[in-house]
């Protein structure tokens, strides 16, 4: 957990940047104070700085997380390939409104059209980047789920009991030992009627004591 403790610091910094940007921009003084340049107000500048800082911090968080995720093709290693393109898509999509706060007052109709197309292409490009990265990491995701399945099977095997005759490991539901043929379901639970494997002290169906 200490290795990833820096994530909390980034999250707190992002939250504070968003909070300060929202609070300061809502103050009437900032709304009424114009910088003397078209419709640009102090409120717009404060929002740009606050929200822009949050986007920069989000990008830095994603790049650092990607660099520290494992490359061993196990566990969460599949996230290494998609964290950065996902962050890029978020930054570009949200950045459209953030940058507009500062540039909007200066753009005429043709400038607005160019501005919109720049972000349209940026959003489409980052979306394709994310889709390609997701496709490439899909094999790692499948392997991660396979490992979880193997771990579950291993845990189930470890919870098995030994055969009373040859001591080989047998799992619940088996009527005979696969090694020596010993009958395992020798007792019927008096409470629920399910068979109790020989050697068990309690019924696996209802928890009643065997015998």
Look at residue 157 in the predicted model and tell me its pLDDT: 45
Look at residue 61 in the predicted model and tell me its pLDDT: 93
Mean pLDDT over residues 95-117, rounded?
92
pLDDT in tens, 146-174: 555 554 554 444 446 667 677 777 665 56
CA–chain centroid gap for 169, Å, is: 38
Q: Is the pLDDT of residue 63 over 80?
A: yes
Asked which of 50-64, 102-116, 142-156 is least confident by mean pLDDT, the reply is: 142-156
**Domain boundaries along the sequence of the chain:** 2-158, 160-211
pLDDT in tens, 171-197: 655 667 777 777 765 555 667 766 666
Mean pLDDT over residues 16-27, rounded?
94
Look at residue 155 in the predicted model and tell me its pLDDT: 46
Look at residue 187 in the predicted model and tell me its pLDDT: 58
- Report which listed range, 13-27, 36-50, 69-83, is most confident: 13-27
Q: Is the pLDDT of residue 23 over 90?
A: yes
Look at residue 69 in the predicted model and tell me its pLDDT: 78
Q: Is the pLDDT of residue 13 over 90?
A: yes
pLDDT in tens, 131-144: 998 888 776 666 65
Q: Is the pLDDT of residue 66 over 60?
A: yes
Look at residue 142 in the predicted model and tell me its pLDDT: 63
**Res. 28 pLDDT band, cuts 50 70 90:** very high
């Amino acid at each position: 957990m200490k290795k990833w403790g820096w994530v909390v610091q980034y999250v707190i910094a992002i939250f504070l940047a968003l909070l300060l940007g929202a609070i300061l921009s809502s103050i009437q003084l900032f709304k009424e104070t114009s910088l003397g340049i078209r419709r640009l107000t102090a409120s717009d500048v404060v929002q740009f700085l606050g929200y822009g800082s949050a986007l920069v911090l989000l990008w830095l968080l994603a790049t650092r997380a990607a660099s520290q995720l494992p490359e061993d093709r196990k566990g969460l290693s599949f996230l290494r390939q998609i964290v950065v393109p996902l962050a890029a898509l978020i930054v570009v999509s949200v950045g459209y409104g953030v940058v507009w706060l500062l540039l909007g007052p200066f753009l005429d109709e043709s400038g607005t059209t160019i501005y919109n197309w720049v972000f349209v292409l940026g959003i489409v490009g980052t979306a394709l980047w994310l889709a390609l990265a997701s496709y490439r990491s899909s094999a790692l995701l499948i392997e991660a789920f396979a490992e979880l399945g193997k771990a579950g099977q291993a845990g189930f095997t470890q919870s098995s009991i030994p055969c009373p005759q040859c001591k080989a490991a047998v799992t619940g539901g088996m009527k005979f030992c696969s090694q020596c043929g010993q009958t395992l379901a020798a007792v019927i639970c008096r409470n629920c009627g399910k068979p109790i494997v020989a050697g068990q002290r309690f019924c696996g169906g209802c928890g009643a004591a065997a015998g």
